[in-house]
Structure 1
Amino acid sequence: MTVKPTKPDWLRVKAPQWERVGTVKEILRDLGLNTVCEEASCPNIGECFNAGTATFLIMGPACTRACPYCDIDFEKKPKALDPQEPENLAEAVRRMTLNHVVITSVNRDDLPDGGAAQFVRCIEAVRRVSPQTTIEVLIPDLCGNWDALAQILDARPEVLNHNTETVPRLYRRVRPQGDYARTLELLRRSRKLAPSVYTKSGIMVGLGETDEEVRQVMQDLRSVDCDILTIGQYLQPSPKHLPLQAFVTPEQFDAWRVAGEAMGFLQVVSSPLTRSSYHAEQVRALMQQNPR
């Protein structure tokens, strides 16, 4: 019988101010938008909604992949793309007066371009309504469709994020429809196609990886000139999801941050509660310090 690790004190989050959370939710519901904050049961939803920020989930909420760690629904059939979604997203950015917006999506392997055109439409809509807002896109691997990747990069988001998620040894179990080499190739091509766009990736830990494996992933990401790295604790969304193997200590997260900075990452956000878009707005300061 496997003993479930006990949740440590360092993973406890502050109770959110529900008045502010409610305001953000009202905007999202009014405009018919989804957020990964809600769909993926993010532990930081209170903090981010209180701060008036959200990571918008386009083309969802149903996903065409069934990654066993993720809480996004994969059992429903994906719907046709909403032609009004880009304009509604831009309106939400305006109402929330966002300085930085993160746009992500479910995997849409049913679409020839993996949803690249919808990403572009969303970027363009935000540019029209809120030109001062910096834009980060967190994209799927597009099944290796590099023309689709070029289409997104041609729209010139400030940041292109694609998560590595885990170490190569665990890919088959954690990300069965993904491919580690393809992830690195996507980031490598992004740097080559759009040198002015900052690249970013993230991994989750606590799934049985070793310190040496994490550091090797970090080295691999630097080998494709990835700028920004996030490392966070995996939390099992429900008993049906991939079981948690261990809670990683804050000291270990600090050690990875120091190691990543020494490797040359422009920014390493590494902590138990870190998620791909957690404190993503900090990239504005990064861009000022390291202009392209």
Structure 2
Amino acid sequence: MTVKPDWLRVKAPQQQRVGSVKAILRDLGLNTVCEEASCPNIGECFHNGTATFLIMGPACTRACPYCDIDFEKRPQALDPLEPLNLAEAVSRLGLAHVVITSVNRDDLHDGGAAQFVRSIDAIRKVSPQTTIELLIPDLCGNWDALAAILRAEPDVLNHNTETVSRLYRRVRPQGDYRRSLDLLQAARQLAPWVYTKSGIMVGWDETDAEVRQVMRDLRAVDCDILTVGQYLQPTQKHLGVRQFVTPEQFATWQAYGEEIGFLQVVSSPLTRSSYHAEQVRSLMERYPRAKASRSPNT
């Protein structure tokens, strides 16, 4: 694999804190995308007592060639205790903001929407002050399933666009660029009080113009929050890195995103879709939105 530049090197984590977070996860039988997808920020996030929980996994029904989540295992039946254990982890870790994502479960009629709903409900019962961010798959375009998720009232609904339109067949062969945009647009129409979010990775030979086009496409469906980060090849069998984008280029994308109306843009080499996601709480204070049954800050 290509040698990483200095700006992609991360500090070694504080093992004591990392170990305590892992112990809680193992005790409750939970998965995190931090571990399953080999996130470079795992040390920092675990040190800070945060994690992005991966439900309905760790086996995925899609085989995206950039992702380190296992797609060779057979998906298992949903664990009815998983939402309760997730809520217990949130309580033990004292999380002010939690991110919940999942593998793709195209084998389920609702893509796993009901498990997201059960997870939200369980967390609300034990930790009502915690804000909840969901990072969901495209649900195969099932907007009834999306509506069910939104009725549970997450604070943030995230769905990653991942890459530019031209590269979808290579990077995300079982996905659809337009469907991802349609999901975000449907979320805005179904639940205008929910903050919508998306993210892309760069380093696959996309052009600056193409990245800016994705940003404009996301703003056209009224997406609120954008993350942009450097793709890193997990193993030799995954798609290779074509270029390492400089911090200066990430800064120009952040400035452009703010210029065209995103409420928040996080753009840097080490940015991932849930990196420093807790910062959305301050965004919610600056741009409050009335909810159907819950205030955004309660």
**Into which bin does the TM-score normalised by the smaller protein fall?**
over 0.9
1:108 aligns with 2:112: no
Partner of 2:296 in structure 1? none
Counterpart of 1:198 (choices 195, 200, 225) is: 195
Per-residue CA distance 1:124-155 (angstroms, 9 max, x = gap): 00000100000000000000000000000000
Partner of 2:128 in structure 1? 131
Distance 1:180 1:21 in 2: 36
- Mapping 1:76-95, distance limit 5 Å: 76-95=73-92
Match for 1:121: what amino acid?
R
1:152 aligns with 2:123: no
Partner of 1:287 in structure 2? 284
Over the aligned positions, Cα root-mean-square deviation in angstroms equals: 0.5
Partner of 2:213 in structure 1? 216
Partner of 1:261 in structure 2? 258
Partner of 1:52 in structure 2? 49
Q: Secondary structure at the match of 2:245?
A: coil
Distance 2:174 2:94 in 1: 37
Asked if structure 2 preserves the Cα contact closer than 8 Å seen for 1:5 and 1:246, the reply is no
Distance 1:240 1:5 in 2: 13
Distance 1:125 1:174 in 2: 35
Counterpart of 2:38 (choices 36, 41, 49) is: 41
TM-score after normalising by structure 2: 0.97
Per-residue CA distance 1:64-120 (angstroms, 9 max, x = gap): 000000000000000000000000000000000000000000000000000000000
1:16 aligns with 2:13: yes
Partner of 1:178 in structure 2? 175
Distance 2:116 2:163 in 1: 25
Distance 1:129 1:68 in 2: 38
Distance 1:123 1:112 in 2: 20
Identical counterparts, % of pairs = 80
1:168 aligns with 2:165: yes
Partner of 1:240 in structure 2? 237
1:230 aligns with 2:227: yes
Distance 1:196 1:214 in 2: 27
Question: 1:6: how far off?
Answer: 2.9
Distance 2:253 2:241 in 1: 20
Distance 2:181 2:80 in 1: 32
What stretches of structure 1 move > 2 A for 4+ residues in a row?
none
Q: Secondary structure at the match of 1:102?
A: strand
Question: 1:49: how far off?
Answer: 0.1
Distance 2:79 2:273 in 1: 25
Asked if structure 2 preserves the Cα contact closer than 8 Å seen for 1:114 and 1:142, the reply is yes
Per-residue CA distance 1:179-206 (angstroms, 9 max, x = gap): 0000000000000100000000000000
Q: Secondary structure at the match of 1:101?
A: strand
Distance 1:149 1:268 in 2: 24
Match for 1:284: what amino acid?
R
TM-score after normalising by structure 1: 0.99
Counterpart of 2:117 (choices 115, 120, 123) is: 120
Counterpart of 1:278 (choices 275, 278, 283) is: 275
Question: 1:5: how far off?
Answer: 3.9
Match for 2:32: what amino acid?
T
Task: Please list every run of 5 or more consecutive structure 1 residues that lacks an aligned counterpart in the other structure.
Answer: none
For this pair of structures, how many residues does the alignment match? 289
